[in-house]
Every structure is written in structure tokens, then in C-alpha cells.
Structure 1
Amino acid sequence: MESHIAIGAAHWVYLAGVLAIVLTMVFRANVVVPSIIATFLVTLAWTHSPVSALASIFNASFVAARELFNIFLVIALMTALLNSLKSLRSDVRMVEPFRAVMKNGHAAYFMLAAITYAISLFFWPTPAIPLVSAILLPAAIAAGLPPLAGAMAIAIAGQGTALSSDYVIGVAPGISAKAAGAAVSAAMVADRALVLSLITGGIALTLAYFSIRAQIRPASAGLLEHWQGRAPDAGLARVEATGSFDKSELARGTAQGEPLGTDANLARSLSMVELRRIRWSKAFAVLTPLAFAAVIALMVVPRLGLGMAELKGGEAAAMVGGMAALLMILATLAAEGPRKMLDVSAEHITDGFVFAFKAMGSVLPIAGFFFVGAGDTAGAILHAGPGHAPSLLFELIQGAERWIPDNHVLVAFGVLLVGMITGIDGSGFAGLPLTGTLAGALGPTVGLDAATLCAVGQMGAVWTGGGTLIAWSSLVAIAGFARIPVLDAVRALLAPVLAGLAVSTMCAVFLWR
């Protein structure tokens, strides 16, 4: 089909900006400044007004913040809840019973993965990794699991499977859907990302298990003593310093301290809770997972066709955030008493916002640039009237339609590859505005569902940069907690993760044409 789209200077500047940002990611540098400069130049090329171009730097980040603030709010409230649970040591009690199940290395491998996935789904891997590493990893090593195998299970389950779907907190699908346009539902992206993440994670976890199965040894306390006597890898700090985002630093900041290797150490840690708080500590260790299980049921059951009303728009995120806020207040009340609870609850929320903006704040100017290329959001940035806002990326793709292969498999793998390239910087989420915008523009052109392409691109970006394939990502923190060289983890994870991504991408094409 011949294209009649008029490609102007703004389109070429936008394309140059996209390429510059991708190239910057490849060189593992932070892309905030290139995004700001590209936003300025695109607006200048479109409006021919230096004043409008200067204002667009602010407008782009403001529009991104307005579109994505619900995500920041959920992160803040979930972090506040986790901080309140820590004061009661309920977070430790939630995972402590699973130590008893780790009778051998084989059971320990899958138990580590299951618990890491569950906690990461609700609280993100950043605080989940230190918790699991301090409490469950020592027990797994004593059961005969090699430290490298433990690191692989944690990375695949947390940084890969849980983070790539981000089904409960909804950061990743929210960014992808907003970038793709108003016609794409965040809930639909989340549903499809959940399926793809489970396929990828299941394959990666299974292949990784078979690759290390022969190294699993009989349970022995000597294995734990030998592991605890290891010095941390000296190269970790150097590798960590090469990343463009500080996720590994955030993960270390939520650490529990020294690993609670023995049952005596764990009992001593739990005994730090005052006697009057012990029953509340146990109560919230049970109440918190049950409450979020109920929220998950409200999100999932209506989609099974059982007659319940489905949550619309941002209602799912609102349910998660509201439940987190309520539990945080109740846990703080139990820990601090009625009077002090008022001040401490406010402090928890403030700390939650600090964490949210440290973890995600740099995404705003990046998303702002890609929002300039989407027709739904470009108008507010460029001050274009209704019907006059350009859709730069969509128009570029329409202009190049004759060169785009009419093959769903090739297009899906192309978006996956773009996602993986954007993940090279080690952030995982910085590339989602690009993959989302690309999915929204490519989907209608090639006849493939945009939500499906969003989920595929999300898999590539998060599995690569989130902490499974890149040494300078959060994988640094996992390797540090496991006391292994981070490059050994990368080499061990490469084949299982790539195989999982390839299979899940094929499934996406054939499941949701």
C-alpha cells in the first residue's frame, strides 16, 4: 500500500533522537540528558519556536508524571507497608517457615524461586532479594544447593519472572500501555505479560536446574560454614559502578544486614521484637499475604467468566495501593501505639515516595520524550490544538510501511530485540516508553495486537536490564549476597533466559494474533 504521510523535519529529528537514546543505552550511559535534548530539538523542529521548545522540556516530564503518578503512588504505599512490617519483623516471619522445607538442594532450588517470586510480585525484587538472601539462601546452601544455583533461582524468579510482568504493582504494564496510546489497556498488557513471564520463567528455571543439578550436594552444615567464610567478590564494586541506574544500590540499602545463616541467629533476630508486639508480628505475617491474595482474586476471578464485575481502568492499582495503606496504618498502630502511629505512618509514606522517585524518577524525562511521538500525549507537550497534534512515530512507521515485513513472527522478534537493546543500560524500565510507543505504532500497521507487542517488548527490556542478563544491573546485588562472581551468574543465565524469551515470543504470536 502506498503511503501518503508527509514526513517532515520533526519526524527525522524524532527518529534521530530515538537512535541516539538507544545508542546511549548500548554504551551503558544514562539517557536522561539525551532524552531532554531530543525533546527540545523535536519541539523546535515542529513549532519553530525556541520558547515552546524550552517549555517542552518541562511539559514532557510533567505530562509523563501526570500519566504515571498512580504508579509512583503504588510503589510508595507498598514500600511504606514493607517498612512498617520490618518494625514488627513480620517480613522475616513471612518467609521463616519455609526454611524447614529445604531438606535437600533440589527442594531448596524451587522453594527459593517460589518464595522470591511471591514476595517480588507484591513488594518488587528490590526489597525481596535482601530478605530472601538473608533468611532462605543460607538454609538452601546448608541443604546442598550451590551458591551459583541459589543466585540463578533468585534472579530468574524475582528480577525476571515477577518483575517482567509486574502484575500486582503494575509499573511496567502501566508505562507500556501509556506509551502505546489510549486504545491499549494496562490491564490487557498486564494479563499478557503475566502469561509470557510465566512461560519465560518456567523454561529458564527448568533449564537452569538441569544445568546445575549435578552440582547439588548432600546437606551439610559444613557447606554453610565454607560459604560464610568466602570473601565477597572484589570485582562487584567495579561492575556495579558501570551501570547507569542505582537499582543494585537500592537493593543493598534494603538489606537485613548479615545473613541469618543459623536457626539460632534467626531466633535472635525475631527475639528483638518486644514481647507485647510478638502476637502482632505473627498476626501481620499471616494477614498481609491473605489480604493481597484477596486483592489478586478480585483482579483475576472476573476475567475467568464467573460473573463478578471486572475492575476498570486504574481500579486494580487503586485496590493494591489502598490495601497497602490500610495495612501500613494497622501495622504501625500495632508497633508504635495510637499516638506515635500518626507521626511514624507519615514517615513511612515519605520514605516510600523517596524510594519510588529514586527507583523510577529518571524514567519521567525518558517517557516524556517518547510521549512527544505519541498522538495521545503530544498535544499537551507541543501545545497543539485538538486534531493538530502529530503522531510522529506512527507516521514514521506508516511512511516506511513498504519496508516492514508482513510477518507477525519477525515483527514480534523485532520488538523483543529492541526491548533487549534498551535493557543493556541495566535499568529494565527505561526502555519501556520506547517499546510501548513502538508497539502502539506497529500493531495497527502489521495487524498484530498492540497489547501483545507491548508485552513482548516488556519481556525483552525487563529480562535483559532488570537483572538476569546484564552484569551491571541488579544482578550485582544478587551476586553480592550469594558471594559469587557476577559474570559467572551472567554466563549461567544466558542460555536459559534466551531460550525462555524465544519460546514466549512465539507463544505470544500464536496465542494472540
Structure 2
Amino acid sequence: MQTHLGAAHWIYLAGIIVILLTMALRKNIVVPAVMATFLTAWVFSGSVITGLSSIFNASLVAAHELFNIFLIIALVTAMLGALREMGADRLMVTPFRRVMRAGTSSFVMLALITYVISLFFWPTPAVPLVGAVLIPVAIRAGLSPLSVGMVIAIAGQGMALSSDYIIKVAPGISATAAGVDTDSVADKALVLSLIVGFTALVITYLTQRRTWRAPSPELLVAWENKADKFGVTASDDGTPDGGEPAPAAGGAAAPVPPAARAAAGGVGAPTATIVRDTSAAEPDSSPKPLAAKAFAILVPAAYLVFIVYLLLGKFTAAVPPLKGGDAAGIVGGIAAMILFAACLTNSRRACLEASSQHVVDGLVFAFKAMGIVLPIAGFFFIGNGDFSARILGMPEDATGPALLFDLINAGLSHVAPNAFVVAFTVMFVGVIAGLEGSGFSGLPLTGSLSGALGSAAGMDPSTLAAIGQMGNIWSGGGTLVAWSSLVAVAGFARVPVLTLARKCFLPVMAGLVLSTLFAIIAF
């Protein structure tokens, strides 16, 4: 069946091309996305008023679909802020230092701890936690700083964030754009992320092992003396300029370069963290080591129980199974209860004010990290028939145009698509979209493409969405793009960020190719 393409279709296609080119040029894509939304709506409706209102409606529709994601980010970030005040965040990883006595054991433990922390809380706390507590131990055990940076980036920003299996932000965006179930995308993304991650880690181990040295305290001293070599600056009190203290082994500080803080707190950096100003904390709050130890045990235990419940519901009939939204809600609920308990422990008199302040901090971070997604998702939603009617202000019972689907069908009428070509196309589109450096902004594009291409190529759209998610997050989430949050990893490891990105390229791309082949064959 021949699909008729009108002027709005060509405007929409031009918008996609401009956005991809803007990403390739390492520029922000919010303005191109908004202008493309305006022009597409104007040309389709013939009304400049509809075009103007679509700018607002597109972001509003995107916010309506994605606000649950913003809320879970805010609650988890708020909880981490309260734990940071009492020092429980560092205590959660301190016991693992005892087994990091040689290069191989340090390599494995760095990857494992970074992955687990990033999977439950995003890479947000993983970099400062591992940087302050475990990186100095790994350096002393003989690992090279470049090896340390590669392991943290691959395990955290790559393997954990690309599946996002616990919080399910990324699968939620991909599934919404593709019109499929979130759990289906999440399950497949988890498998693919493990394939990419294990492949990249094995290649890293084999290529970097020759750079490791025998364990020695002198290695740590030499590494600490490089604090200022790559633009790392510290204030007189030993803390990073404008940041919070990051104690390392032996009382040394682990400073962060200003660029790393910019990447961590800047717009479009979903793996970033917000550092709450503890100087404004209530004056009666003092260190409580016993409470910190208790919460360092309580938090992992609470989420471990949740994971066990999740697995029982998925694989047995012992408990009711949880859907994607239910799981995210429980994660947020646990985070909120721990937040309140931690604030009460920190200060009984100011617990109400501290709790609300942490929630505000979490919401600010959520919109800093994810706000850029709204206008971008709004543009791709206008090409999706499920959302375009609302964006264009059409009646509730009206059927909106499926611009992207029409374009794909028109293109496929001239080419016989097959799973191999389509899968690798979606993966490489994800990699290109990740060049923007935010990690999540390309997910509406790869998700929409997956929903449109899946049936024509004989593949499950959820599989294609997971493949596109791999390409997008492994690229822009902080492994291949030097202007992403990879800067923070390089800052803590004290290596040049361009060198780190270049060294990660071969292991990560090899993993992406292997995982895509696996998805074509197995899914």
C-alpha cells in the first residue's frame, strides 16, 4: 500500500535530520526540536496559532507521559542527600576495600561495586563514592589510572545505566515512544547490557593488564601527586574548588575538575548528581557514626529485599508479579521512607525542614538532568499517532497523524527490510543520537523508530527499542563521548578525558555489535 506523504511529513523528516546533524556537531538540540515541532504543526494544520500552541502542548504531553520518571529520580536523589549528610553513603562501600589487594581482584571489585551502586541509584553516587573510597585502594593495588577510569565508565555509565533495570527510566522512555510494554524492553535491555558490558570489560582486562604493576604504596603517592596535572584544582582546605570534601585513602582528597562538576550538574547529563550545600544544614546536626553504620546496612538490605520480591513475582507464584510502574513506585516509596528516617536521625528538631529541602533538591536535580528530554520527546511524539492529536489540539475522538510511521512505510516500500539491517540501523542511530552527550535525549527517536520498523522487519519492537537504547546510552551516557559525564570519571581517575574516551571506543563498540547480533538471533 502506497503511503501518501504531504508537506508536514517532509518538514518532520527535515527536523529529524537537522537534530541528528546538530547532535553530530556536539550542539544542544532543544532549539532545533522546538522549531521542528512548530513548523510541523503549522504546516500540517495550516494555522500558525496551532503551530505556536504545539510548542507548549508537545512538552506538556511529554511531561504527562514522563513525570513518573522525574518523581522517582527526585526521591532517590533526596534519599542519597540525607545519607550523604551522615556519611552512610561511603560506609556502604568501605567493607569491599578489604578484598582489593591485587590488580585482578581490584578490577573485579571496582566493576562489581560500581555496577551494583549504579543499578540501584544510577551512576549518580557511584563516581564520587568509588572515586573517594575505592579508586585510591585500586591504584595502590597496582591498577593503572586509565584502567580504573575504563572500568568505572563501562560498569556504571555503560552497563548499569543502559539497562536501568531497577529505576526503569530509560526503558520507560523507550517503551513509551515505541508503544510497547516497559517490562519487555527492560528485560531485553538487561540481557543486552550484560553482553556489552562483559565484552567491554574482558577486552579492557586483556588490553590493560600489561599496564598494571605490583602493589605498592608508592603508586598511590605518585598518583596523588598528579592532582593538578589535568586541570584538577583544590582549595586551601583540600576540597575541590566549590565542591564538597572527597576523602581518599590515608586522608588524601580526591578533587574534581570544574569541567567534571559542569558535566555532573549541567543540563542534559542524566548520570549527574546534585551536591547539597551542607554548610546550610541545621547547626545541631553532628556526625553519628552508629546511625551511619545502621543506614549503610539498612539501605542495601531494603533494596535487596525488594529485588528478591521482584524476582519471586517474576519467576514464581509465591507473590503477585509487579509491573513496571509498580516497581518504580516501590523504589520511590522505599527512598521516601529512608529519607524521612535519615533526616529524623540527623536532626529531630529540623527533620521536617530537612526532608522537604532534600525533596526540593531532588526535584531540582531531576529537572536539571531530565528537563532537556521534554521538548525533544515532544517533537518525536508529534510524529507518533498515539500523541499527535493532543499536541495538535485535535478533538479527543480524532485520530492524529502518524508522521514517522508514514515516512518509514514510504521508505520501506522501496527497500525489502530485514532484521539484520534494521537492527544495526537502529543501533547506529542510537550511537549517533548519543553524541549529544546527555545519554537519554535520543531514546524518543530510537523508540519511535523501533515502533515503526519492528513489524516491517519481522522483529519485536521491544527488541529494537532495547537495541537502540544500548547504542544511545553507551554512547552518550558516559563511555564514548568525552563531553558527557565521562569527564567526572576522568577527573576522579586523574586521566585525560579524551584518552579515556578513545580507549573505551573499541571495547564498547565490539560489545554493541555482539549484543545486536545476539538480539537478532535470540529475540
Number of the residue aligned with 1:70? 68
2:399 alignment partner in structure 1 = 388
Q: Do residues 224 (structure 1) and 220 (structure 2) align?
A: yes
Contact kept in structure 2, 1:160 and 1:466, CA below 8 Å: yes
Q: How does 1:114-263 map to 2 (within 5 A)?
A: 114-181=112-179, 184-234=180-230, 246=266
- Cα deviation per residue 1:385-428 (whole Å; 9 max; x = unaligned)? 33421111011111222234432111100000000000111111
* Residues 236-265 of structure 1: CA deviation (Å, up to 9, x unaligned): 9798799899379897865799xxxxxxxx
Structure 1's 127 and 52: CA in aligned 2 closer, same or farther, altered over 3 A?
same
Deviation at 1:232, TM superposition (A): 3.8
Correspondence for 1:94: 92
Shift of 1:306: 4.2
TM-score when normalising by structure 2? 0.90
**Structure 1 CA distance, aligned partners of 2:264 and 2:84?**
29
| Cα shift at 1:130 | 1.1
Equivalent-residue separation in structure 2 for 1:137 and 1:70 (angstroms)? 34
Separation of aligned partners in 1, 2:35 and 2:101: 56
Aligned to 1:348: 358
Judging changes above 3 Å, is the alpha-carbon distance between structure 1 residues 405 and 499 closer, same or farther for their aligned structure 2 residues? farther
Q: Helix, strand or coil for the counterpart of 1:126?
A: coil
Q: CA deviation at 1:313?
A: 4.7
What letter is aligned with 1:102? M
Q: Any residues of structure 2 matched to 1:301-340 within 5 Å, and which?
A: 301-337=312-348, 339-340=349-350
Distance 1:372 1:246 in 2: 27
* 2:37 paired residue number: 39
Map 1:355-366 to 2 at 5 A: 355-366=365-376
Contact 2:263–2:272 (CA<8 Å) still a contact in 1?
no
Using a 3 Å threshold, how does the CA distance of structure 1 residues 21 and 243 change in structure 2: closer, same or farther?
A: farther
Could you list the per-position Cα deviations for residues 72-105 of structure 1 after superposition, in whole angstroms to 9, with x for gaps in the alignment? 0000000000001111111010001111110111
Moved more, 464-473 or 289-298: 289-298
Corresponding residue number in structure 1 for 2:427: 416
Runs (5+) with no aligned partner, structure 1: 258-272
C-alpha distance in 2, partners of 1:132/1:288? 17
Confirm or deny: 8 A CA contact 1:77 1:321 kept in the other structure.
yes
Quote the Cα distance in structure 2 between the aligned partners of 1:174 and 1:249. Answer: 18
Q: Secondary structure at the match of 1:403?
A: coil
Question: SS of 1:376's equivalent?
Answer: coil
TM-score (structure 1 length as normaliser): 0.91
Distance in 2 (CA, whole Å) between partners of 1:251 and 1:166 is: 11
Tell me the amino acid that sits aligned with residue 292 of structure 2: S
In structure 2, the CA distance between the partners of 1:46 and 1:251, relative to structure 1 (3 Å rule), is: closer
Whether the 8 Å contact between 1:106 and 1:216 is mirrored in structure 2 is no
Question: Matches of residues 334-483 of structure 1 in structure 2 within 5 Å?
Answer: 334-337=345-348, 339-385=349-395, 386-483=397-494
SS in structure 2 at match of 1:375: coil
* Residue type at the aligned position of 1:222: E
Q: Give, as a single letter, the amino acid of the residue that structure 2 aligns with 1:328.
A: L
Superposition deviation, residue 126 in structure 1: 2.5
Looking at structure 1, the residues matched to 113 and 210 of structure 2 have their Cα atoms a distance apart, in angstroms, of 23
Q: Which amino acid aligns with 1:396?
A: L
Amino acid at match of 1:477: A
Percent of paired sites with the same residue: 51
Give the aligned residue type for 1:109. F
Match of 1:50 in 2: 48
- Cross-structure match for 1:490: 501
Normalized per residue, which structure has more helix?
Answer: 1
Gaps (5+ residues) in structure 2?
233-256, 278-283
Q: Is the 2:271–2:369 Cα contact (8 Å) retained in structure 1?
A: no
Superposition RMSD on alpha carbons, in Å?
2.3
